[in-house]
Structure 1
């Protein structure tokens, strides 16, 4: 991809929300560079496809506050200083699993060791769940993540406290050194590890893996961005396993994204050692959702 399109896509990660339908149509029709110029007002834009003049005007109004804040060259320089880079579709290391998303990221910012690339979804499993997990949940997550890493499967999670952190640590402990043992997807810019209490864990992940985000440096995490990053976690992995998540939680949102793009979903809502739990869960959950009843299988 040309430098102008890479720069444009870097700008789009700051300018366009990933769920903005008018922005998506603009990029699909005209390409990233032209869409960026149109959003800046540097090129005229006219109704196209099924996008009306009114929708275009509303889109331009949404994007108008941002141009003064847009400096993609500065963002690209900032991520390079942090030991990272910016991936776009067509790059050697672009994770093609993201292409399964209807609202795929405009690009992917990364920090860490990119030499081994990002494994295909068939070589990745997402583990996520409650931030205030029980000791049982932590133990089961550790068993699963360690076993996956021992088999060369990369564990994807979100660096949050609780289940996410247990998954990352166990995967690092089980690493066989033949590729990234674990990768973390953040809900803000990669210049700040969030939560800050897991900064040391993030540094350990970057030693042979990556921290990833669709958002440029300097972007603060928000509730909406936490929910949006769930789709990236789901798309990078062939299966998403949820451990001890509440009914309304980001972890279940990630599972929903996984199911939407035809990825496998697994769950550990109760004791995997209880025969009663296994039978009752099998009766409650839909056939498309797998229940983990033996973490050693």
Structure 2
């Protein structure tokens, strides 16, 4: 009887140790653009320094990454409220930033996903112009842009394929503001080229995102979305419920990191990679060190 009991106790202990080890293993995901690569590296380094066994799987496409999290292959990544609201949950209602967050939090809970505290970084779509041209044409907002185009000025737009076709993109934006660039005046290209084309004078207006680090570096003017057309894209850590249950301290740790991020901070970090050519890992580590998280 005693050897059997010892055997059972040893097996039980081994199972407990294994479960604890699994509880401390976090797979961090990220999408395939600069901001997301920085956040994935930042999160990985931060959690590793906190004692977790962390694996990083960054550089993924949006849809693939979301499905990987739902399927349990990714435990944690940073998502945008507007992306979940529109692309994943097909919600077309016009919602305030607070209502959008609450809606995606509720809907994604059905998928076993938990939205933690949103950061103050809102990487929504935006249109930008060269500062001198915007000033000479008197354009500060999208309504101003509409007035100038409707008055007969032919301005060209650089757009990526996604913005050109999506439900919160070019066509509905033009309908909201009552103008049209005209098909021949829209040049489609990779998103990484839109601001380059603008800076080089190949186009007059470029689609971008609000935290793009090249905006301040190139002295560009972001046009005010005065009719609040673009949905809120609050950058937020999203974690699988099962992962949180296994790691009770994780929510507070990620909320601490989220509270440090806003538009200016993300633009600065993005610029260090895209403009200054620092590595993603070095930029992420420096930020964590500045904030005593590494």
TM-score, length basis structure 2: 0.26
Select the structure that is richer in helix: 2
Question: Between Structure 1 and Structure 2, whose CA radius of gyration is higher?
Answer: 2
